[in-house]
């Protein structure tokens, strides 16, 4: 089930009736592990969406499908209302519009300097040098890591590497930024700084979608929440979805702290985005 979006703006990115199973090959000839069984999701421009689900529910798989690292077995992926197929022109269109930041920065960083890493995507878009430099400077500034430009990525701390990985995605100026567990492993100040940086990106028009099982983060940050249970997505305003004990329980998640407090006070004192 997919609830309507909170906005009349047409979606940038949409999954419709998405079906997907991982193929697991072994000596028995292999089997399939179903992850999505008819899931739907629409991402509107500039939206602030959290994708919630327990361990193994399929959050990472879903993000990989949205960016074309895996392809659906059934249903459709649409960009600007047009179906995206597994062919070169469509993959390029998707890569220019949608960027995924992986949970582990070390799965993403490979260059000898931060500057080289962040410039990799824009260089591969065929942009001229001045434009590449402009984008790199802008992305480093957005993540407050301009001072790290000449450092070797694997000498940096985990939180710094995470910022570099996000800067690399931002340098592509995506219309949709997908982040897999972006706050995992960050200290509280680094977490707040990252959320502020993401909010600035979002306010400039990029849709920001983060996958997490941190319900308190979702309560504090999200406008809209989509919960992944048994291959389906249930979506709605954060304030409603994050109070739905039955739904959260089915997803192996707890009601967020803010929602519990507000319920106990029997009035709404804390709303998403205010804690």
Ligand X SMILES: Nc1ncnc2c1ncn2[C@@H]1O[C@H](COP(=O)(O)OP(=O)(O)OP(=O)(O)O)[C@@H](O)[C@H]1O
Q: Is 60 in the site for Mg ion (CB under 5 A)?
A: yes
**List 2, 60, 160, 183, residue binding ligand X (CB under 6 A):** 60
Output the CA angle 113-156-182, nearest 5 degrees: 100
252 binds ligand X (CB under 6 A): no
Total residues contacting ligand X by CB under 6 A comes to: 13
Quick one: which segment of 54-62, 107-115, 149-157, 255-263 binds ligand X (CB under 6 A)? Answer: 54-62
Residue 183 binds which of Mg ion, ligand X, none (CB < 5-8 A, kind-dependent)? none
Closest CA to 114 of 157, 73, 82: 157
Query: Measuring CA to CA, which residue among 105, 188, 191 is closest to residue 153?
Result: 105
Closer residue to Mg ion, CB minimum distance, 11 or 53: 53
Contact with ligand X (CB under 6 A) among 8, 55, 189, 267: 55
Q: Which of 11, 40, 46, 53 binds ligand X (CB under 6 A)?
A: 53
Residues 21-50 that bind ligand X (CB under 6 A): 22, 24, 33, 35
Would you say 8 or 25 has its CB closer to ligand X? 25
Decide: is 56 part of the binding site for ligand X (CB under 6 A). yes
Give how far the C-alpha of residue 263 lies from the chain's centroid of Cα atoms, to the nearest Å: 29
Residue 57 near which of Mg ion, ligand X, none (CB within 5-8 Å, type-dependent) = ligand X
Q: Torsion angle, CA of 145/221/48/235, rounded to 10 degrees? A: 150
Instruction: State yes or no: residue 200 binds ligand X (CB under 6 A).
Output: no
Q: Which of Mg ion, ligand X, none binds 235 (CB below 5-8 Å, type-dependent)? A: none
Task: List the single partner that 243 binds among Mg ion, ligand X, none, CB under 5 to 8 Å by kind.
Answer: none
Q: Does 234 bind ligand X (CB under 6 A)?
A: no
| Strands, E assignment, the chain | 13-24, 31-43, 48-52, 74-79, 82-83, 98-101, 176-180, 207-212, 224-229, 232-237
DSSP-assigned letters across all residues of 126-174:
T--HHHHHHHHHHHHHHTT-GGGTTS-GGGS-HHHHHHHHHHHHHTT--
User: How close are the terminal C-alpha atoms of the chain, in Å?
Assistant: 29
Task: Choose from Mg ion, ligand X, none: what does 24 bind? Cβ within 5-8 Å by kind.
Answer: ligand X
The site partner of 161 among ligand X, Mg ion, none (C-beta below 5 to 8 Å per kind) is none
DSSP, res 4: P
* 57 is a contact residue toward ligand X (CB under 6 A): yes
Q: Which two tokens stand for residue 188?
A: 């509280």
DSSP three-state, residue 13: strand
Binding site for ligand X (CB under 6 A): 22, 24, 33, 35, 53, 55-61, 213
């Amino acid at each position: 089930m997919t609830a309507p979006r909170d906005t009349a703006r047409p979606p940038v990115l949409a999954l419709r009736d998405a079906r997907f199973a991982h193929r697991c090959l072994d000596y028995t000839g292999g089997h399939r592990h179903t992850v999505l069984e008819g899931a739907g999701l629409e991402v509107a421009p500039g939206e602030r969406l959290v994708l919630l689900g327990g361990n193994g529910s399929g959050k990472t798989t879903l993000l990989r499908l949205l960016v074309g690292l895996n392809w659906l077995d059934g249903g459709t992926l649409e960009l600007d209302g047009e179906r995206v197929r597994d062919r070169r022109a469509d993959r390029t269109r998707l890569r220019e519009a949608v960027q995924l930041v992986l949970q582990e920065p070390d799965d993403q960083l490979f260059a000898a300097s931060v500057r080289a890493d962040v410039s990799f995507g824009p260089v591969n878009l065929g942009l001229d040098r001045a434009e590449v430099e402009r984008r790199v400077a802008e992305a480093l500034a957005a993540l407050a890591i301009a001072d790290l430009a000449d450092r070797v990525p694997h000498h940096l701390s985990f939180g710094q590497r995470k910022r570099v990985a996000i800067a690399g995605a931002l340098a592509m100026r995506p219309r949709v930024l997908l982040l897999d567990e972006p706050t995992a492993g960050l200290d509280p100040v680094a977490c707040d700084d990252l959320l502020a940086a993401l909010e600035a990106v979002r306010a400039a028009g990029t849709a920001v979608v983060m996958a997490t099982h941190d319900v308190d983060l979702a309560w504090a940050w999200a406008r809209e929440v989509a919960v992944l249970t048994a291959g389906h997505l249930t979506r709605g305003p954060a304030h409603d979805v994050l109070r739905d004990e039955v739904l959260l329980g089915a997803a192996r998640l707890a009601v967020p702290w803010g929602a519990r407090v507000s319920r106990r006070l029997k009035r709404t004192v804390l709303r998403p985005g205010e804690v």
